[in-house]
Amino acid sequence: MVDHVKTVATQAFQVWLKADMRELGWEDGAINVSGFVEPFDTWADMTHLASEESWEKQPRAIAYFCNALPDLEAIPDRERVEWTAESLDRVRRNAITFLNGDIAHVWPNARGPEGNFRWELLADAGCKKENAKLTGERLFDTQFWVASVNPSDRYTLSLPGSLIYRISPLDRTYDNLTIAGDWTDCGFNAGCVESAVMSGMLAARAISAAPRFDEIVGYDHP
């Protein structure tokens, strides 16, 4: 499985906004878009989570963006800490460039008079005193971004011919051992929360004979 099932690094960032989507210029409803542009081709409107978070003044919109992060050349283990920090900075630069440019295609009103993103639209979750001095692009530092480059964080791909090499949570090759995760052979072999849940339920069955196969929605036992 290690030899044949491949992974890819990913990048993501999230912003909390003081304006709602209609004020930003988005005229349709809440949406999840993929296939937009590089370097962030996926946008999800996650405004519905605002009421679940702890804010003194609730943001009016929340947006998540993500995509693959192209690998650079291999990094020796002794340099991995620096490499991780550099990858995180690369995502930050990508996000700022994206907000200053391509986001105007879906949020036309987020563009300021000089053509760049209106950074004052960003809500500050921490409300730290030192953040009050931030202006322009530095306001992005109050938001969230991540570079999933470490081996355990990478996204597992479903490449042609690779699925037969995935190990099932039901595999009995080793005593007292089962596995769970969206990277296993779980009946829905794609990187998503649904496959992770299915895999966890199969692992539970391997341990305790429950739940029944017909209780695992979407699983077609051979």
CA 72 from centroid of its chain's CA atoms: 20
Residue 148 token pair? 């999933």
> In the chain, at which residue ranges do the beta strands (DSSP E only) sit?
7-8, 10-17, 32-33, 42-45, 61-68, 144-148, 155-156
- Ordered DSSP codes for 148-202: E-SGGGSEEP--TT-GGGPPPTT--SSTT----STTS-SSS-SSSHHHHHHHHHH
Tens digit of pLDDT at every position of the chain (222 positions): 989 999 999 999 999 999 999 999 999 999 999 999 999 999 999 999 999 999 988 999 999 999 999 887 666 665 667 888 889 999 999 999 999 999 999 999 999 998 999 999 999 855 555 566 778 899 999 999 999 998 889 999 999 999 999 999 999 898 989 999 999 999 999 989 999 999 999 999 999 999 999 999 999 876
Cα(106)–Cα(98) distance, integer angstroms: 12
CA 3 from centroid of its chain's CA atoms: 25
Q: What is the pLDDT of residue 78?
A: 55
Q: What is the pLDDT of residue 123?
A: 93
* Whole-Å CA distances, 93 to 24, 87, 212: 22, 10, 48
Cα(137)–Cα(94) distance, integer angstroms: 12
Q: What is the pLDDT of residue 152?
A: 86
